[in-house]
């Protein structure tokens, strides 16, 4: 390295600009965002977790998730059903009984949720110990 000529050269050696990064980046970002779209929002995770403990009815889910409104629960359940994560079953009885359960596909989220929980638990400890 002789004398410093331009800034960019100097910097580039420190943070080389690899065009490959951009491709790898976008290749990772899209699926991660897909996954996050499914899980994000205020209520989807609570609902998924509640149903991971077993089949439940509308009112029962509502009871287990503090502060959720009927509207939100209804809307989120519909979206989860559309994504094939949750199954809505209408039992042919009188009166009609409706319940919700996780589909096998929904259960495939288990590992993801578990990693989130593990990291979140660590993070929580870290935050609380600092303040």
DSSP 36-62: HHHH-SSSHHHHHHHHHT--EEHHHHH
Cβ neighbour number for residue 68 with a 10 Å cutoff: 19
Question: How many amino acids of this chain bind a second copy (CB under 8 A)?
Answer: 59
Interface with DNA, residue 82, by CB under 7 A: no
Angle at 77 between CA 46 and CA 52, to 5 degrees: 45
Q: How far is the CB of 112 from DNA (least distance, A)?
A: 18
Interface with DNA, residue 115, by CB under 7 A: no
Interface with a second copy, residue 29, by CB under 8 A: yes
Q: How far is the CB of 70 from DNA (least distance, A)?
A: 4
Interface with DNA, residue 120, by CB under 7 A: no
SS3 for 91? strand
Counting beta carbons within 10 angstroms of the beta carbon of residue 8, is it exposed (0 to 12), middle (13 to 18) or buried (19 or more)?
A: exposed
Of 27-35, 41-49, 112-120, 122-130: span binding DNA (CB under 7 A): 41-49
Interface with DNA, residue 68, by CB under 7 A: yes
Residues in touch with DNA (CB under 7 A):
41-43, 57-60, 67-72, 74-75, 77-78, 88, 97-100
């Amino acid at each position: 390295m002789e004398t410093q000529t331009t800034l960019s050269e100097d910097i580039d050696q420190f943070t080389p600009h690899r065009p490959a990064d951009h491709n790898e980046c976008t290749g990772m970002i899209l699926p991660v965002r897909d996954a996050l779209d499914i899980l994000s929002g205020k209520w989807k995770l609570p609902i998924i977790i509640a149903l991971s403990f077993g089949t439940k009815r509308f009112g029962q889910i509502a009871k287990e998730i503090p502060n959720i409104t009927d509207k939100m629960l209804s809307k989120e359940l519909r979206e989860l059903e559309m994504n094939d994560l949750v199954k809505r079953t209408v039992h042919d009885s009188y009166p009609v009984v409706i319940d919700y359960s996780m589909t096998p596909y929904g259960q495939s989220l288990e590992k993801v949720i578990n990693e989130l929980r593990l990291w979140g638990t660590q993070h929580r400890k870290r935050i609380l110990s600092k303040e």
